Amino acid sequence: MRLGETARLFESPITPEQVCAEHGDLVVELPDGEATVTTVLERAGDDEYESYEALRASLFCGLPAGAVGRLGYNDRDAPPVGEDGPTPVSL
């Protein structure tokens, strides 16, 4: 099941404890491993979610840095004047 398909599983408001009790063992696949919903929500540290969108945002914010790819990578803009930017990496 993809994250976008999960909205129908939740009623608002809901606490992290309620989410984890029902879905905490679901695995989030990451580029460098995996994490459970419980682990991700513990990192986020919220008390309650007033809407599905708030829960979804918390799930994204609770992901470890490795979930988003190379840190500092930006293929859209050059570094600002006076800054060197990240060290280029050859793939």
Q: For residue range 23-79, list pLDDT tens digits in order.
A: 888 888 888 788 888 988 888 877 888 888 888 888 888 888 778 777 767 677 776
pTM above 0.85, yes or no: no
Domains: count for the chain: 1
Domain that holds residue 34: 3-64
Query: Could you please report the per-residue DSSP string of 39-84?
Result: HHHHHH--S-BSSHHHHHHHHHHTS-GGGGSSTT--SS-PPPTT--
Cα–Cα nearest to 91, from 65, 73, 78: 73
42 is a domain residue? yes
52 is a domain residue? yes
12 is a domain residue? yes
40 is a domain residue? yes
